[in-house]
Copies of this chain bind each other. A is one copy, B any other.
Amino acid sequence: MSADRAGQPITMRQVAEAAGVSIATVSYVVNDKKGARIGPEARQRVLDAVKELGFRPNALAKTLSSGSSNFIGLVADAIATTPFAGQIIHGAQDEAWKHGYVLLVANTEGDLAAEEAAISMMLEHKVRGILYSTWYHRAVTAPPALHETEYVLVDCFDTATPAPAVVPDEREGGNVATRLLLNAGHTRIAFVNTTTPSPARSGRLAGYRDALQGAGIAFDPTLVLDAAPEQEGGYAVAGRIRDLGVTGVFCHNDRVAMGLYDGLRELGLTIPNDIAVVGFDNQEVIAAHLRPPLSTVALPHYELGAAGVRVLLGLQEAPTGAPLAISCPPVPRASV
């Protein structure tokens, strides 16, 4: 049997109560999640409760036929115009499916009317909640209609609401990027930051300083340049980079690194022998295929989407008063 006495489908909550564990633990066991640290005893109690109650781990068809809302909405400003945002969708969808939810995706291209219509549509479909996501990490003003349901901000945050938010850990990412250079023996390292004020700009700079401090190297503000955050910006600063006498450069993003490659090459410098270069974003189509392939730090888009769903469903806690920061892992290749 897979329904309780009232004919309602068995929920993870009921399994959790019967087993005396958290819903998250049930979810981990039921979905055979790799890396979850759950003791063999708790695992067995969950499996026993699943069997006894007749809980169906593959909840999708079940939830669908139960008539209760099984939708999670994802409102995105620009799925389509960036090669990035797709991984947010991918992560959110995988995680939603795991828990028996279907992701309803609406791409608004930042148009307020489209956004309003999308949220209305989702509310009319009685979604379990909404992920409101942006294609790059930034401050937003959450649309008022969101307050009619539960929501999580993904890759963005709104200091005016207590709604949970999930963002990349820019500061740790900047630290990780700089350490890729430090660990290879570089001590005089430039940072080509972006001209655009943003959490990425301030966070990655703070991380660069953290890493230098951790290595006992004094911060030298003359080694920090600002450039337009794309190929043209990186190309334009190549001469200044050469003149700084640095042996390593951390670039705000992979596109800047791509332009810097061209600029350094025209100056007769080789990477990494003359100058080592590290990017940020891990924009696959660029980073993996430059000559030499670019060492970089990944923006955790998949994980942002997945964590957003877990926070929405109460399976993962977000700190109050600050966004949940997701790690940006290093992707070493051949440019250091």
Q: Which residues of A contact B (CB under 8 A)?
A: 60-61, 64-65, 79-83, 85-87, 89-90, 93, 97, 102-107, 109, 114, 117, 120-121, 124-125, 230-232, 235, 255, 258-259, 262, 265, 283, 285-286, 289-291, 302
Contact = CB atoms under 8 A, between A and B. Distances in A.
A121 B64 CA distance: 8
A90 B65 contact: no
Contacts of A258: 289
Closest 10 CB pairs of A and B: A83-B83, A80-B90, A231-B289, A80-B86, A105-B105, A64-B124, A80-B87, A79-B86, A262-B291, A86-B86
A44 B283 CA distance: 50
Given A102-B104, A124-B64, A255-B285, A235 B291 contact: yes
Contacts of A65: 124
Given A105-B105, A232-B289, A289-B231, A61 B97 contact: no
Given A259-B289, A262-B291, A291-B262, A107 B90 contact: yes
20 contacts: A60-B121, A79-B86, A80-B90, A82-B83, A83-B83, A83-B86, A85-B86, A86-B86, A89-B105, A93-B106, A97-B117, A103-B105, A103-B106, A230-B289, A231-B289, A231-B291, A235-B291, A255-B289, A262-B291, A285-B286
Given A103-B105, A107-B89, A61 B120 contact: yes
A232 B293 CA distance: 11
Contacts of A117: 60, 97
A286 B97 CA distance: 34
A83 B90 CA distance: 13
Given A65-B124, A231-B291, A286-B286, 9 more contacts: A60-B117, A80-B86, A81-B90, A103-B106, A105-B105, A232-B289, A235-B291, A258-B289, A285-B286
A266 to B, nearest CB: 9
A160 B81 CA distance: 34
Contacts of A87: 80
Q: Which of A102, A104, A230 has the most CB of B within 10 A?
A: A102
